[in-house]
Structure 1
Amino acid sequence: MNQEKPLTIKELPEEARPRERLLSFGPQSLSSAELLAILIRTGTPQESALRIAEKMLKQYDGVSGLSGVTPQELSRMKGVGAAKAVSIIAALEIGKRLSTATPHDRPVIRHPGDAADLLMPRLRYETKEHFIAILLSTKNHVLATPTVSIGSLNASVAHPRELFREVINYAAAAVIVAHNHPSGDPSPSKEDIALTRKLVEIGQLIEIPVLDHVIIGDGKYVSMKEKGII
């Protein structure tokens, strides 16, 4: 018994095509799979772009799971390839940056939760540890949040010299350091605590206070200041 060949997006009724629906009803009317299908553009003789998008979301457990995928890994999926993988990763990165963008005033860090909220969308799905500096003005406005270093799966490589170089380059009055735990558990390790104390000591010597060290997990965080370590 012959199986029917799946319809391509072009063969679907016009009102069912993701691009046409986006133009008519806006992007909010589309599912994640349909939005992803627009980026994929074309399918294979066996599967439509929409079907490939659905399989991709299932394989990586939704859009959030795609945030930690590399272009190389994504390109190995049948029907994707390098060009489509790059487009998808680029779109995801734009989404990450948009989620942390501040169109008007620079954000102010008043307590550890503000620092966690600032970096959570950027860090919670990273598969390697990223060590970030939150550089502050005299009134605790955020000047910049540069990445100081990127480590391995379970270890960041942060050198005080690299951190304070960024602080001095931006003429920051103070700094909060932060990094993520790819495991999702933000509990500090002995190495995290030792590094924190070392950075605080150096900051005191050069009169640039290290106000906190925030560890980002999956939807939760730990503040060294709140823990009494600083």
Structure 2
Amino acid sequence: MGIKEWHPFDQPREKLIAFGASSLSDAELLAIFLRVGVKGKSAVTLAQDLLDEFGDLHSLLTAEQSYFCQAKGLGVAKYAQLRAVLEMSRRHFESGLKKGDTMNAPELSAQYFMQQIGHSQREQFGLMLLDQQHQMIAFEIVFWGTVNQASVHPRELVKLALKHNAAAAIITHNHPSGKPHPSQADRSITATIKEAFALVEVRLLDHIIVGDHGRWHSMAQAGEI
């Protein structure tokens, strides 16, 4: 039986319209993205097979292009479509913050950072600069690679803070395939950056580490700053 023969409220698109996107399972959401199935499988069945193959939705969305494209029912066109959807989501969230939202809670900062670097397979280090009201002035990816004293240069962060006349800052980096708990190197570089910012009267509010599967850790929330 094809999806069109299902009860309307069992069809993913109609269910979404009637009850909202949050009412759908991962497979149903993915089925809407796929639009069609393959011979002998509905879009929902194909979606569930793909989730089983990749492990979960996060792993599918962050898969390398070569791995993603070789899966049945996907391919280069779907990969391009997915990347476009993820980028639109990132820009949508970013544009809302630029309208003056205040970064006054670790949850809000973490959500933003997950949009920026949470899907990256490469470790990245970012700097968010804030004004006196803790509204975002700018966000930049400033370093790539392992976070340690050799790769992260506090002087460059201070230069950016002065350039934007920032009053406060939040730093972030990702652990692409691991837990978001800080290492000793993370703690050490955080202390060094905090001291460097203090010399120019910029407050380091937090260091948020983004892990895999949407997990994150706030060093400020944990009392580590």
- TM more than 0.5: yes
In structure 1, what is the equivalent of residue 126 of structure 2?
A: 132
Which stretches in structure 2 are left out of the alignment for 5+ residues? none
Counterpart pick for 2:217 among 192, 217, 221:
221
Distance 1:43 1:150, change over 3 A: farther
Whether the 8 Å CA contact 1:8–1:49 is kept in 2: the answer is no
Could you give the per-residue CA deviations for residues 65-88 of structure 1, whole angstroms, max 9, x where no partner exists? 334323332111012111112222
TM-score norm. by structure 1 comes to: 0.71
Whether the 8 Å CA contact 1:133–1:148 is kept in 2: the answer is yes
In structure 1, what is the equivalent of residue 67 of structure 2?
A: 73
Which stretches in structure 1 are left out of the alignment for 5+ residues? 1-6
- Mapped pair 1:31 → 2:8: no
Q: Which has the larger radius of gyration?
A: 1
Counterpart pick for 2:44 among 41, 47, 50:
50
Between the aligned partners of 2:42 and 2:32, the Cα distance in structure 1 is 11
What's the secondary structure of 2:202's corresponding residue? coil
Counterpart pick for 2:186 among 181, 189, 192:
192
Counterpart pick for 1:60 among 54, 58, 67:
54
How many residues matched? Answer: 218
In structure 1, what is the equivalent of residue 84 of structure 2?
A: 90
Counterpart pick for 1:108 among 98, 103, 109:
103
Between the aligned partners of 1:14 and 1:225, the Cα distance in structure 2 is 47
Distance 1:225 1:34, change over 3 A: closer
Between the aligned partners of 1:56 and 1:168, the Cα distance in structure 2 is 48
TM-score norm. by structure 2 comes to: 0.72
Between the aligned partners of 2:64 and 2:92, the Cα distance in structure 1 is 20
What's the secondary structure of 1:145's corresponding residue? strand
Query: What's the RMSD between the two structures over aligned residues?
Result: 3.6
Q: Which amino acid in structure 1 is aligned with residue 137 of structure 2?
A: L
Counterpart pick for 1:203 among 197, 206, 220:
197
